[in-house]
């Protein structure tokens, strides 16, 4: 069977250099459903703060497909006994290419901020679900089943496998539930969306790509980690499975990967000005939703294909009175009339353990009534940051092997890694913004915020110790 059936296509990528993609991947790229990703910013509202963050989901998806092929090739060369077939290889690359098809306008702003407020009850919607729906729609609309067959794939068997790769399957959990491939090939499910420990080519690409466009340093070397990857048998409780492991000397490089994730969240993804712009865009979309039926598009892939970042300009330049309120919010963004940061504070573990955003907002308004003469318009935002595994040490779920015995997998010991590592791997920030323009009221709000912090945000008794807070008045 000829699995190329044509020439590979050459792409010039600013991150990975000259890359080659299989002709079937090019067929997918040339569909309207994939071309849509040209019009969805990879970093959403970050472009309003970082002028270089203009890259899109389109190029990121191509990069993930390329890295998936690189990792598979590296494993094949070292371990031909894994029996990675051409079909396996092609399916994993297609999953990497299509894993973000379901993103909405401004990427995560849509599925994390907008959709949850529109759909307060029912099934939680995530962009991965939409990616599978859009993938199915793309295959049907463009006759790709026949094309896939021409390149050696079996659509009845391989399409469900690709969808599972996009959704992600935890290779360490219970009985094997995946339909696409048997359990001895569980390592294939750790390449695009790794539910075991979060180390996958999706992150490898966006760490490198986002750092490049944001101008943020990146000490993590994905090419080196890729070269030292191999598949070993690992034990999880009473279960054994085949998992991707790394040389023990790469432990610091793995930590650098998770640190890079945290740095990107702290400096860019959760930047205080970006956060308030995202909230404003969300509020504009909520105002326009009833008239433009934005949220309804996720139920119809034909309409969802048309839904991109262009929604911003559609509202901004509309003359429809029904969109007046939504338009005014976006005009404030364009003219840089943004709410001012009143204060930001890190909550201690005792304070943030079970506290909700609603509780913090209610406690803040109580504090305002207590310490301020005016009831002003505020925005309370809660930001969660971690190293990728909530409050756990991400390295705890990573397996390594040694040069002496590359077939034996083990977890790294504490004395084998740097002592400069953090003690905790999770933190919660609370931010308060003031929507007004009066300097005196802003100063009054800042004093109120300081008192609120000293009062432990209304969460702990007076004698409890307050976490450190920072106060800023400029955006």
Q: Which two tokens stand for residue 78?
A: 């070292």
DSSP annotation of 315: H
Residue 60 annotated in active site: no
Q: How close are the terminal C-alpha atoms of the chain, in Å? A: 60
Q: Which helix (H) or strand (E) holds 246?
A: strand 239-247
From 93, 394, 397, select the one nearest 243 (Cα to Cα): 397
Contact (Cβ atoms closer than 8 angstroms) between residue 95 and residue 192 = yes
Give whole-number Cα distances, 253 to 174, 220, 222, 224, 248, in Å. Answer: 30, 6, 8, 9, 10
Phi-psi region of 83 (alpha: psi -120 to 50; beta: other; left: phi over 0): left
Beta strands in 285-339 (DSSP E): none
E strand intervals along 297-362: 340-347
Which position among 127, 271, 352, 387 bears the catalytic label? 127
CA distance 344 to 275: 12
| 469 vs 271: CA distance, rounded Å | 16
In contact, 265 and 257? CB cutoff 8 Å: no
> Which long-range contacts link 373-378 to residues 24+ away (Cβ below 8 Å)?
373/444, 374/441, 374/444, 376/434, 376/435, 376/436, 376/441, 376/445, 377/434, 377/435, 377/436, 378/342, 378/432, 378/433, 378/434, 378/435, 378/445
Rounded Cα–Cα distance for residues 194 and 305 (Å): 27
Beta bridge partners of 427: 385
Residue 71 Cα distances to 36, 192, 314, angstroms: 27, 10, 41
CA–CA gap between residue 60 and residue 254 (Å, rounded): 21
What is the b/e burial string over 419-457, where b = at least 16 CB atoms within 10 angstroms of the residue's CB? eeeeeebbbbbbbbbbeeeeeebbebbbebbbebbebbb
Residues noted as catalytic:
127
């Amino acid at each position: 069977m000829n699995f190329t059936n044509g020439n590979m296509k050459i792409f010039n990528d600013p991150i990975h250099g000259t890359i080659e993609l299989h002709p079937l991947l090019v067929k997918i790229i040339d569909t309207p459903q994939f071309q849509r990703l040209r019009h969805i910013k990879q970093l959403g509202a970050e472009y309003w703060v970082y002028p270089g963050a203009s890259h899109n989901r389109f190029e990121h998806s191509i990069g993930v497909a390329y890295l998936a092929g690189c990792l598979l090739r590296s494993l094949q060369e070292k371990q031909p006994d894994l029996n990675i077939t051409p079909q396996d290889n092609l399916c994993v690359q297609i999953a990497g290419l299509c894993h973000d098809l379901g993103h909405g306008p401004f990427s995560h702003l849509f599925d994390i901020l907008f959709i949850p407020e529109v759909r307060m009850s029912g099934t939680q919607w995530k962009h991965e679900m939409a990616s599978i729906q859009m993938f199915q729609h793309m295959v049907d609309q463009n006759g790709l089943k026949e094309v896939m067959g021409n390149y050696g794939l079996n659509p009845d068997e391989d399409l469900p496998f690709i969808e599972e790769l996009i959704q992600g399957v935890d290779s360490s959990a219970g009985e094997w539930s995946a339909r696409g491939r048997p359990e001895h090939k569980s390592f294939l499910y750790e390449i695009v969306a790794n539910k075991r420990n979060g180390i996958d080519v999706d992150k490898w690409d966006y760490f490198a790509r986002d750092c490049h466009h944001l101008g943020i340093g990146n000490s993590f070397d994905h090419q080196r980690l890729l070269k030292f990857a191999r598949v070993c048998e690992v034990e999880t409780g009473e279960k054994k499975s085949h998992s991707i492991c790394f040389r023990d000397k790469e432990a610091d490089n793995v930590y650098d990967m998770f640190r890079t994730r945290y740095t990107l969240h702290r400096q860019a993804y959760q930047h205080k000005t970006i956060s308030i712009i995202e909230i404003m865009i969300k509020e504009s979309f909520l105002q326009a939703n009833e008239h433009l039926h934005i949220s309804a598009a996720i139920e119809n892939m034909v309409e969802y294909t048309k839904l991109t970042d262009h929604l911003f300009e559609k509202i901004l330049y509309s003359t429809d009175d029904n969109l007046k309120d939504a338009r005014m919010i976006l005009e404030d963004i364009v003219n840089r009339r943004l709410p001012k940061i009143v204060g930001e504070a890190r909550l201690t573990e005792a304070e943030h353990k079970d506290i909700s955003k609603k509780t913090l907002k209610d406690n803040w308004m109580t504090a305002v009534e207590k310490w301020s003469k005016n009831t002003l318009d505020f925005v309370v935002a809660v930001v969660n940051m971690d190293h990728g595994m909530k409050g756990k040490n991400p390295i705890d779920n990573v397996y390594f092997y040694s040069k002496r015995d590359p077939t034996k997998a083990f977890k790294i010991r504490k004395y084998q890694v740097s002592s400069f590592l953090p003690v905790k791997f999770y933190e919660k920030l609370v931010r308060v913004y003031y929507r007004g323009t009066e300097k005196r009221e802003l100063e009054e709000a800042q004093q109120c915020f300081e008192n609120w912090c000293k009062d432990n945000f209304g969460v702990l008794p007076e004698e409890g110790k307050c976490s450190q807070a920072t106060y800023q008045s400029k955006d």
